[in-house]
Amino acid sequence: MNKQLIDALKCRSYSKKELLEVLKEDFPSDSRDAMRKRLERHLSKLITLGLVEKRGNKYCWYIYLNFLDENYTVKLNHSRGLIPALRRISGEYGCYNDQEKTILGYAKNNDECVESHLLAYPEIFGIYQEFQKLRHKMEEEKKQFLTKLNERVKKAFREIKIADNYPRTSEIYVRKQISSLIYRLVISKSSPNLRVVGEHVFVGDIQVARGFHLFERIKEFLRRETEDESNISIITRIEKREKDSSIIQNKLRKKMLELISRVNSGEKLKSKCNNCPEVYNIPEK
Q: What is the pLDDT of residue 1?
A: 57
Nearest C-alpha neighbor of 277 from the set 80, 78, 106, 105: 78
Dihedral through CA 91, CA 93, CA 97, CA 100, nearest 10?
A: -150
Q: What is the pLDDT of residue 96?
A: 44
Q: State the burial class of residue 104 (Cβ atoms within 10 Å of its Cβ: 0-12, 13-18, 19+).
A: middle
pTM over 0.75: no
Rg (CA), the chain: 28
Domain locations in the chain as residue ranges: 2-61, 70-134+241-264, 136-235
Residues 6+ apart with CB under 8 A from 168: none
Domain 2-61, CATH 3.40.50.300 — does that match? no
CA-CA distance, 259 to 12, in Å (whole number)?
Answer: 11
CA-CA distance, 142 to 238, in Å (whole number)?
Answer: 7
Query: pLDDT tens digits, residue range 74-119?
Result: 788 888 888 888 888 887 655 444 544 444 444 556 778 889 999 9
Which sign, positive or negative, has the C-alpha torsion 158, 170, 212, 204?
Answer: positive
Q: What is the pLDDT of residue 109?
A: 62
Along the 285 residues of the chain, how does pLDDT read in single tens digits?
567 777 777 666 778 888 888 777 777 777 878 888 888 888 888 888 777 878 778 887 765 444 445 567 778 888 888 888 888 888 765 544 454 444 444 455 677 888 999 999 999 999 999 999 999 999 999 999 999 999 999 999 998 888 877 766 678 888 888 999 999 999 999 888 899 998 889 998 888 898 889 999 999 999 999 999 999 999 999 999 999 999 999 999 999 999 998 898 888 898 888 777 655 443 443
Q: What is the DSSP string of 48-97?
A: HTTSEEEETTEEEE-----TT-HHHHHHHHHHHHTHHHHHHHHTSS-S--
In what side-by-side order are the strands of the sheet with 58-61?
14-15, 58-61, 52-55
How crowded is residue 233: how many other Cβ atoms within 10 Å of its Cβ?
A: 11
CA-CA distance, 282 to 243, in Å (whole number)?
Answer: 55
How wide is the angle at C-alpha 217 spanned by C-alphas 212 and 218, nearest 5°?
Answer: 80
